[in-house]
Amino acid sequence: MDFMRGTADPSKAICPEGEDATHFASIHGNPMGEMPPLLKYHIKLLNIMAGCAVGRTNITTVEAKLQSMYSYEDVLHAMCDGHTNIELNIALANLFFEGYIEVEISIPGLSSTGVIWDAFATFPKYADEMAGCLVDMSQSLEYMRKLMNLVTLGSAIIEGFLDRYYTGDEFRGESDSRVKNGADGGGAATPTKDKKGDEEDKEESDGMHWIDKLFVDLYNSFKELYDLRSPMITDLQNSTIYKLLDSLTLVCEALQGADLPIHFDLLASKDDDEEEAGSQQGNLKKDEVSSLKKFIKALEADEDLALSIQSDRMDQIVRLFDNLPKLVDDVNSEVRYEPTIRKLVTHTRNLIKKEKNKKFIPRECEETAIWTIQLFRAMIEDKWKSAYGKPMDINERDEEGGEEEDEAAMPVQDCLDDCGATILCLDVIADGMNETVVEEGVNLLCCLLIREGGNKKVQQVRYRKLIMASEAVKKNKPCPIQKLSQSLI
């Protein structure tokens, strides 16, 4: 508990002695990295302590014990420490909100303690970083979730502080000298004022107090994040940020003319303490599901994203296949071109089930079959593209292609046929099969057949398959393969 009481050096629990802080942060600041057991313990303990203080009424005794165990100055100093990683920062912010802001009895002198303003000054960079991540997706989703959690907690802390503690007289006039002499009731001198010195005096002479400047920085950073209206941010998180923005416009004269839209539904939706205890978790879950649905709809409606996914799915995998060594190549490799294709063909054919006179692929496997067939077709079309100089599909190949395209695609067509792709196409062109699967099978078969004079190897395989379907001919019941044959004559 020495760490919790502040008698030990917090930096030793945050960044071990002798280890470079930047290197430590690059490892342990990464959510996927392993943290030291002692640090994991402290984070768990902080979250448990915060959980004991959830709510504002009827827990005064718990809050008092919590505040005596871990003073708010120690919490704030740890939040300002540049060595503190994101996991620990979230736990500290959570504890500070539940144990020192969302309380029934206010803490005397909290607003006049300089370190709390230092802590507030760290939040604009988190909001800016979160906005940047949402734009360029430069960080992992796990890190972005945790960063957004920290930003949301910061919004709630500052909004709660402005609502319950801030008077507007802090560090202005006589308050400055009183706090600088350490008589602020909290027993802490004001590092913020001492640290800024002449720079703050210049700001005040220019007409803006350093606290107002901090409010403007907070507003601009959080407003930029709020204006993104990203579907990855839940409605509850957006609401928390909006309430902070609204509070900042009320307490800072420099923000009186800010172009913040008025959302009465958000401002009037503050939960009662009685309702909060019983429904908070359920509301959080509902809010997450609602935001996820919105995000999925936005993804489905994005045509550029669909094209990008298609390009990544096919083009890059086709390149990967092209780089695989062939069986005749004298190289040491466990994965080769032809066996891989044969495995894919065999796997897809094994998905086909028979029921009486019909064939089908189970619904949960249809996407896999479609993707595999599309991949084989993309391998042929890619060779046409390399010879033609631009993308070429089946229709363009039939109208504009020539000998160069034939020569470029011939090795791939023959390899696919040798590995069973033609048989696969004929297997999926059957009664009972999903229409999309049948369509993709026809497209691939056309790709295999297209060649000046026709691909005789594929034609022979198709002929043998038609002979095997002779029973359907005798019953005068045309099967899909017969229909395809008639359309190709």
In degrees, rounded to 5, the angle at the alpha carbon of residue 266 between the alpha carbons of residues 263 and 267 is: 85
What tens digit of pLDDT does each residue of 214-245 get?
Answer: 999 999 999 999 988 888 888 889 889 999 99
Inter-residue contact 51 to 99 (CB < 8 Å): no
Q: Indicate whether 48 pLDDT > 70.
A: yes
pLDDT for the residue 126: 94
- Band the pLDDT of 271: cuts 50, 70, 90: very low
Inter-residue contact 211 to 219 (CB < 8 Å): no
Inter-residue contact 373 to 447 (CB < 8 Å): no
Q: Residue 168 — left, alpha, or beta (φ > 0 → left; ψ -120 to 50 → alpha)?
A: left
Q: Which of 48-57, 59-68, 433-442 has the highest mean pLDDT?
A: 433-442
Percentage of residues in the chain with pLDDT exceeding 90?
28
Question: What CA–CA distance (Å, rounded) separates 162 from 116?
Answer: 12
The pTM score is 0.50
- Band the pLDDT of 277: cuts 50, 70, 90: very low
